[in-house]
Chain A
Amino acid sequence: MGNRIAILLVTIPMAGAFAACLAGRRRERAGELAAAAVSCLTLLLGILLFFFGEGTCEIPVLLGAGLHFQVDGFRRVYALVTALMWAATSLFSLEYFREEREHLLRYDFFLLLTLGATEGVMLSADLMTSFIFFEILSFTSFTWVIHEQTAEAIRAGYTYLFIAVIGGLVLLMGLLLLQNSAGTLRFDDLREAVEKAGSSRRVFAAAVLILLGFGAKAGMFPLHVWLPKAHPVAPSPGSALLSGILTKVGIYGILMTSLTAMAGVRSYGLLVLCLGVITMVLGAVLALFSVNLKRTLACSSMSQIGFILTGVAMHVLLGAYGSGEGAVTALPGLMLHMVNHSVIKLALFMAAGVVVMRIHELDLNRIRGFGRNKHFLKISFALGALGISGVPLFNGYLSKTLLHEGIVEGIHECPGLTVPLQVVEWVFLISGGITFAYMLKLFLCVFVEKNRDAALQARYDADLPCMNVLSTAVILGSALLCALLGQPFITLRLAAVMTGEEEIVHFAAFSLTNLKGSGISLGIGALVYLLFVRRVLMRDQRYLDLWPKGLDLENVVYRPVLTRVLPGVFGRIARLFGENLLLRPLAKGLLFCAAFLGRVLVTSMDALVVFLNRTLFRPRRIKGIDEKHPGMWRVLREEVTIGARPLSQNLSFALMMTCLGILVVLGTLAALLLR
């Protein structure tokens, strides 16, 4: 019974998508309501699955190998989180899209398809199933990014699409190599199969490709470029899902390969660590510099993904050094951080969605002071911000502490990596500090400070109520969930469910050392805010965009390489070898031989004529013909040039003649040989 729910979770939203589409054709409002209803139904199924689901199931035959699903601790929790996020955002979008109804049906249709595909990835039992649903959701979520159809949205859409495609293909290549060397793609068998296969280089290459493929969706450096562009242009419920869930889909894939095929491979751990740390810092710094509400949140997502990846790396590294103790903190830490980040971003992006819905602006200088008297919104945003900054008693604290603990363990357990890991520890703390700084910046800007334009501020103050009861309930509810997840007795139990290990329940969340780590981080954050944000990033009470415009990996490297460098190089090679060096000289050479032969024949005829004239006939002068005869070589040269002229204009005709010649020669040859 339990495992059937898994299939329903995947298929019902997909069938619901078509139902919503049909309903929306009849009456506009019906499509929206149907989408919300299907999301809520999925949530119900998610809850059922959470309590009763266990075991594996499959849909045979489809797509060659069939689709395989599995329900266990982590998958169960994440299937529920996914359904929850979808239900919340689709309820919120009932109000969000009230004004802008263009392409709404398309949005709802692809929303539900993506829900089914996401559940498919989260419940998949083998990499092939993950891959198939991963590709589906890549393409269906593309319509969210491009939803508004402005020039900016289309550009961001292209970036998203191409990163998604390249991610998918790299992933495919990785899968192929893994299948080829290990012989299986099932997560359960993968570990043994890899150990048995022994060809570690191929498996490692496969794992790196899989890392890059899933990393593209997770927003990992160097494939993060879509993230800061796609979120600001997508509708806010869409951004919440992109950031809260779709990045986690990428993490899911990375996590599953790290736990199985790459468990305890040191070099893989180091690679993930490097990429994770870069993503963590880069995201935080980008968020600090940003002056756009949703862009800040997007960069923050990237940074949090870096935190999670660091956790993955620590888990792998600790496994490599054999003590196995790492599983106690790093693994639950990263899993909890995934859940926390999903829920936090849900609340934050929906709060940002309210801002967009009311005033259609995202620039911090314009929206400043919007939320001064909107208390529910203020509380929701504050809860989310406190959670993500890792303030004790709120949800981010616990997961970050666990991740921090994982790094500290690594310092003790991994000989030879002590110094690098100490650096990582400090980078971790500083990034946490920057997180606090930019969330402080956002909160103070939107909810505390006054706008410089007094008239605008008055209009903002008069704009009450800013949302209807349903939206208030949804946003406040998700914010309160953040607070709820900050309580160790709930959260550690959840961690135990996800990892399947009971020990974590006894983790001392509020011990002095743990509080100290959080304190350092928050202290750094406060300093950064006071010294850097207020002094450098603000002039005359305005937020400045100081990030250099040219410094964009996409515009500096990716786009030029694809649109200019590659075609240029290939075009040149093609012209050089295809026509200028190969075909044209060949044809010219053949023509020269033919002309030469002809000339020889003609000249010998001329010689005969001259001889006859001298001996048998009397020479006769023809009037009007120039006496001067050009030399034989000159005639020959002219003939070749003139002969080659149509050639350069029309190579093909010459080629045809050449080939006919070859045909005749070969035909004769054949006839001779066959006799």
Chain B
Amino acid sequence: MIPAITLLFPILIPIVGGVLILFLHFKKDCHREVFSETVVVLTSAAVWLCILFCRSHPITIYSFTSGFSITFSMDGLGCLFAGMISLMWPLVMLYAFSYMKESARKNSFFAFYVMTYGAANGIAFAADMITMYVFYEMLTLVTIPLVCHYQNHESMYAGRKYAAYTIGGAALAFFAVVLTTLQSGGGTFLYGGDLRPGFDPSIMRIAFVFGFFGFGAKAALFPLYSWLPTASVAPTPVTALLHAVAVVNAGVFAVMRMTWYVFGTELMRGSREQYFCLMVAVFSLLFGAVMALRERHFKRRLAFSTMSNLSYMLLGVMLMTPDGFAGGMAHMLFHGVIKMSLFLCAGAFMHKTGCNYIYEINGVGKKMPVTFGCYTLGALSLTGIPLFCGFISKWKLLEAGAGEGSVFGLIGDAALIASAFLCAMYTLTIAVRAFFTASEKDHYANAVRDEADRMMLLPILVFTAINVAFGIWPQGIMSLIGRIAGGG
């Protein structure tokens, strides 16, 4: 056993390291690269140290008043989230070094990129609503400079929009944070929730809906979704890691915390509010899929697909059954892996060819066979084809929908199936274009093999390998997730 103070390392190391990068003057690029990679790897090591050895009491850093403090602790859900991002961050860092080679203002980019890691870990390890809320806002703030990184008109607009939507969303959620802090034991997370008895449940349900939409804004829930496609102007490492995994999943994570660890499902099960939220998630997932199909910009298409998939997870949580919760968590993990590989492939393509649109992909498979081979596997997985991990989580979600018992669960299932079909259409057409369609302008007709460089290929290959491995041997991780969903 190691002392609880270890819990602070994953949060403090990247934040301090990030601030240092901001002020240090690096003579060569490689110095900065080594420094930031070291910080990130150290952080990941600290995360795993905590996950493996630190299962102790919560640790309070600062107490404003009684029952209103910054406190951290570890539990299953937090471990899952932190464990997931801790595997991704070091790898995507490598990708980012090579992607950002020609960019200006690298210092600020990597500084904020590293700081974001700390904020995300803070959300994962938060022990109560207030702490989570603080780091949630912090996550928004430190990612704004990343979205605005190119500092042209488009990205400034995207940054403002991002800020408005997510801060606005958090403001909605604040209502739920305040009410639950008052009505439970200081908003401390406890599986099953610990609302005080005797409080008017109808008001709490309304607070829940506020919280759902508020935290949902970060998970691009309809109607607060439009920041996500706009924000895809950011550099690809940001879109991949933050806007497909860390930031958006933080939204889903917050909804999970709120539903299962604060409000508890007994309050909501079978109520009108539950089904309202469920139907919003259903609409959102269909809507995202349809809009992705309509979109012609490669990264924006993937962003809409992220929106759709985030709503899968919210759907799973809103079913309010342990199965649904497990499905949501599994999809959070697997979608993260899949979408990461898809975005990195998209980034490699855009970096290598300078093209942004889907019709420019025709025939590029000859030029970049490994990248688009991995893309194809990711696309199949996202659609939910067996042998890949996307199938496992989708099956779990479908099972939960059918097992929920009411007609709404079945509607959710039907929507999942429909959106999976749309997903096949919007992802696989790209793969078909890459490999089977001849280019109109013929610029790849005589192309020789010309892949992205190794630093970019490595993360792509690793994520694809994880994708297949979890698809073929899902038992271990699924039983772990099942235990977390059951409160173990």
Q: Which residues of A contact B (CB under 8 A)?
A: 61-64, 131-132, 135-136, 139, 146, 149, 154, 157-158, 161-162, 165-166, 168-170, 172-173, 176-177, 179-180, 562, 566-567, 570-571, 573-574, 577-579, 582-583, 650-656, 658-660, 662-663, 666-667, 669-670, 673-674
Contact = CB atoms under 8 A, between A and B. Distances in A.
A386 to B, nearest CB: 39
B206 to A, nearest CB: 14
B223 interface: yes
Interface stretch (B14-22, B194-202, B237-245, B378-386): B378-386
B72 interface: no
A139 B383 CA distance: 12
A652 B472 contact: no
A651 B420 CA distance: 32
A221 B174 CA distance: 54
Contacts of A669: 178
Contact of A663 (B161, B174, B182): B174
Nearest to A166: B421
Q: Which 6 A-B pairs have the closest CB atoms?
A: A659-B168, A656-B164, A652-B164, A652-B161, A165-B424, A578-B223
A393 to B, nearest CB: 45
Contacts of A573: 287
A583 B473 CA distance: 45
Contacts of B474: 63-64
B163 interface: yes
Given A165-B428, A176-B399, A574-B287, 19 more contacts: A63-B386, A135-B385, A135-B387, A146-B432, A158-B432, A161-B428, A162-B421, A169-B417, A169-B420, A172-B395, A173-B398, A570-B291, A571-B291, A578-B223, A579-B226, A655-B168, A656-B163, A660-B167, A663-B167
Interface residues of B, number: 60
Contacts of A173: 398, 413-414, 417
Which of A146, A571, A573, A655 is most buried by chain B, counting CB atoms within 10 A of its CB? A655
B171 interface: yes
Contacts of A673: 178, 182
Contacts of B167: 656, 659-660, 663
B65 A674 contact: yes
B290 interface: yes
Interface string B394-407: 01001100110000
Contacts of B254: none
A136 B472 CA distance: 13
Interface in B167-194: 167-169, 171-172, 174-175, 178, 181-182
Contact of A570 (B168, B223, B290): B290
B483 interface: no
A567 B438 contact: no
B392 interface: yes
B408 interface: no
A418 B151 CA distance: 78
B150 interface: no
26 contacts: A63-B386, A63-B472, A63-B474, A132-B387, A146-B432, A146-B436, A149-B436, A157-B436, A162-B421, A165-B428, A169-B384, A169-B420, A172-B417, A173-B414, A176-B395, A179-B399, A567-B294, A571-B290, A573-B287, A578-B225, A650-B157, A662-B172, A663-B167, A666-B171, A666-B175, A667-B174
B415 to A, nearest CB: 11
Interface string B72-115: 00000000000000000000000000000000000000000000
Interface residues of chain A: helix, strand, loop or mixed (majority): helix
A652 B164 CA distance: 5
A168 B160 contact: no
Interface of B: 65, 68, 157, 160-161, 163-165, 167-169, 171-172, 174-175, 178, 181-182, 222-223, 225-227, 286-287, 290-291, 293-294, 380, 383-387, 392, 395, 398-399, 402-403, 413-414, 417, 420-421, 424-425, 428-429, 432, 436-438, 471-475, 478
A139 B168 contact: no
Contacts of A582: 223
A674 B177 CA distance: 13
Nearest to B410: A177
A48 to B, nearest CB: 28
A577 B380 CA distance: 33
B64 to A, nearest CB: 9
A244 to B, nearest CB: 24
Nearest to A129: B386
Contacts of A161: 424, 428, 432
Contacts of A654: 164
Nearest to A165: B424
A154 B432 contact: yes
B414 to A, nearest CB: 7
B386 A650 contact: no
A259 B335 CA distance: 38
A577 B259 CA distance: 26
B359 to A, nearest CB: 14
Contact of A64 (B182, B222, B428, B475): B475
A659 B222 CA distance: 18
Contacts of B380: 139
A165 B421 contact: yes
A25 B404 CA distance: 52
Contacts of B424: 161-162, 165, 169
A674 to B, nearest CB: 7
Given A165-B424, A169-B417, A172-B417, A666 B160 contact: no
A641 to B, nearest CB: 21
A574 B222 contact: yes
A402 to B, nearest CB: 36
B222 A176 contact: no
Nearest to B396: A64
A361 B437 CA distance: 23
A168 B399 CA distance: 16
Contacts of B160: 650, 652-653, 656
A658 B421 contact: no
Given A132-B386, A162-B425, A176-B398, A63 B436 contact: no
Contacts of A135: 385-387
A424 B293 CA distance: 43
